[in-house]
Structure 1
Amino acid sequence: MTLATPHTTLPPHSDGIRLCLAELLQYKDQAVRWLPPAQSIWSHLNGKHTSRQKGRGMNFSEVRPYQAGDDIRAIDWRVTARTGKTHTKLFTEEREQPVMLLIDLSSSMQFGSQLMLKSVQAAHFASLLCWLTIKEQDRIGAIVYNGKTLHEIKPTGRQQGALRVINQLIASQAHINTHTHEVNEADTQPNILFSEALRHLSHLCPKGSEIIIVSDFHSLKADDKQSLSRLRHHNRIQFVQIHDPLEQGITAFRGTEQVADQTQSVWLNFAAATTREQLGNQFQHQQALIKTLANSLAIPLYSLNAALPLLQQLGQQKGQS
């Protein structure tokens, strides 16, 4: 559905609805721009926020008696003074940090009023994160959630890990596109709640993972706080919210249009200010829940617009930071 969209060019190989390999592979060459410490994709998503980034280095392991050949700069002078014998500190190289994505492709994500569906924008951002993770020599894994099924991709290193996630995103979006317009009365497959996806994430991700949840969070409930709290106990979590301007009542269109998702269809009069206000109020109500939950668990919340190309948004944020 398009409502008086401003002129904005789609990313290469993209039609805004389906996904293809060439469309997501383009982010492989872009990832190097956001490698820390020189850059940070999170700081550019929020110009005033400086995100704590994982740095590579050495972690303290133990203290043992000094041996010939040890670096004198590593001598532990406190232990040496206390024991009367020279002791040195040992360090181990910092271990990799797996990155786990939870990517929401459910019915509410299959919506876009201007440039692309929210699900497509989520896949673009997930692809950038995959290639960034591989560039940092970490493993990447994911859960792709569509409201009916969960596809688990165990953390895998190198290019294979990124391609496994990308191929699953393409397959899942293709399946959704194929079935969107079908009348499927015989489909008795129960819905899978967002909370179930969080529980699967808890079982799949190794401790010490970087967890990034990419969603519009329409299915997030206050009861999910417990699951998120358990996840956060041993991992770091970040929220990336995908939104569309129409959800906030922002549109230049002033006619009557049918608005539909995979569950319902309604006619809305966008010429009426009350219609636009009601949409904005509903969005703000859900937004308050998301922000309250994120703040209570100290989870950073970032935002991406489905009406603008991903790299254009990152470029704008970069210029403002």
Structure 2
Amino acid sequence: MQYASSHPEKLPEHTDGVTLTLNELLQYKSQTVRWLPPGKSLWSQLSGQHHSRQKGRGMNFSEVRKYQPGDDIRSIDWRVTARTGKPHTKLFTEERERPVILYLDFSASMRFGSVLMLKSVQMAHMASLISWLATTQNDRIGAVLDSGTQLTELRPTSRNKGSLQLLHTLTEQHNDALQTSQEEQQPLEAGLKALQKLCPKGSDIIILSDFTRYSPDDKTILSQLRRHNQLQFIHIYDPLETGNTRYRGTEKVTNNNSVRWLNFSALSTRKQLEQAFLRGQNDLQSLCASLAIPYYSISSAQPLISQIVGKTE
């Protein structure tokens, strides 16, 4: 069951909720001003926090030289000054740009939506916002695109070129995937191994998925990735998966492993869906807690910007 109900009055501009266009993704470039320093952090807003400021870039120590008129007195190196008898100043260089690597899941389970848009479309909107935010802050942006049957690696690239390449490739591959028949989906492990090969040490890795292909065996790879990089999870979900739906018919559904008919008019069915979703979400949050990975969730039932901003209102 892969469809999105039509609610044009709520959909973002240029969006039909199913296919992707460059225009709908390019509009997020103008939204980055909301989360640039000294404003609120995107991540604090996703967490529903108030007034949390985004951390600025760090400064790396470069060298010590003799004090010169105009140097900041707070940068004086008192140890060297005491040892030499002459004032010396510490010099710092701004921290180098950081690679931001996105793992973008638009596999079969992500190409589903029951209310406003497909989960894969919401994922693409979030990916666009993050990529433009990274570009605006002079970071390099790269990605692993996972259709469930094919992996595409985009090496970290700086400036607008990185974001444009990512969004163009994602748009093409996502729309192609919508036209293909259901095929056997490869495990998430394959995509995580691609991340290991692609990411330079010190990368900021952001995984956007519904995590239906996650296996407990994947924890080993995630732990290895976490050892040398920062990881963040963005869990994309649809309200029907939580049992929250007005649909009261009978529908054939699949979890990529089995197929069954569900009677959505039965309260017991909707409760079972809710309980299954909460168990999976709790397992995912426990995994994140054990590896110190921040966890965020985004619904496909609301436009992205109003949903993020709404978390702090």
RMSD (Å), alpha carbons: 2.5
The 5 A counterparts of 1:90-129 are: 90-129=91-130
Q: Equivalents in 2 of 1:6, 1:171: separation in Å? A: 24
1:17 corresponds to: 18
Describe the SS at the equivalent of 1:168.
Answer: helix
Q: What amino acid does structure 2 have at the position aligned with 1:165?
A: L
Moved more, 132-141 or 68-77: 68-77
The answer to whether the Cα contact below 8 Å between 1:215 and 1:241 also exists between their aligned partners in 2 is yes
Moved more, 263-272 or 127-136: 263-272
Mark the runs of 5 or more structure 2 residues left unpaired by the alignment. none
Q: Equivalents in 2 of 1:202, 1:123: separation in Å? A: 22
Query: Alpha-carbon deviation of 1:4?
Result: 8.6
Moved more, 149-158 or 279-288: 279-288
Does 2:281 match 1:280?
no
Describe the SS at the equivalent of 2:312.
Answer: helix
For residues 82-126 of structure 1, what are the alpha-carbon distances to aligned partners after superposition, in whole Å with 9 as ceiling and x for unaligned? 454433212112211111100111111111111111011000100
Q: 1:90 to 1:30 in 2, by over 3 A?
A: same
Q: Equivalents in 2 of 1:86, 1:57: separation in Å? A: 25
1:291 corresponds to: 285
The answer to whether the Cα contact below 8 Å between 1:229 and 1:297 also exists between their aligned partners in 2 is yes
Q: Equivalents in 2 of 1:235, 1:275: separation in Å? A: 41
The answer to whether the Cα contact below 8 Å between 1:104 and 1:215 also exists between their aligned partners in 2 is yes
1:304 corresponds to: 298
Query: Alpha-carbon deviation of 1:238?
Result: 0.7
Percent identity among equivalent residues? 51
Q: 1:252 to 1:208 in 2, by over 3 A?
A: same
2:220 corresponds to: 226
Does 2:301 match 1:318?
no
Query: Alpha-carbon deviation of 1:9?
Result: 1.4
The 5 A counterparts of 1:11-160 are: 11-48=12-49, 53-64=54-65, 66=66, 68=68, 71=71, 73=73, 74-160=75-161
Does 2:189 match 1:195?
yes
What TM-score results when the alignment is normalised by the length of structure 2?
0.90
For residues 241-285 of structure 1, what are the alpha-carbon distances to aligned partners after superposition, in whole Å with 9 as ceiling and x for unaligned? 000111111112223234457776543211111111221122122
Describe the SS at the equivalent of 1:172.
Answer: helix
The answer to whether the Cα contact below 8 Å between 1:3 and 1:251 also exists between their aligned partners in 2 is no
What TM-score results when the alignment is normalised by the length of structure 1?
0.88
Describe the SS at the equivalent of 1:231.
Answer: helix
Query: Alpha-carbon deviation of 1:25?
Result: 1.0
Q: Equivalents in 2 of 1:204, 1:52: separation in Å? A: 30
Query: Alpha-carbon deviation of 1:223?
Result: 1.7
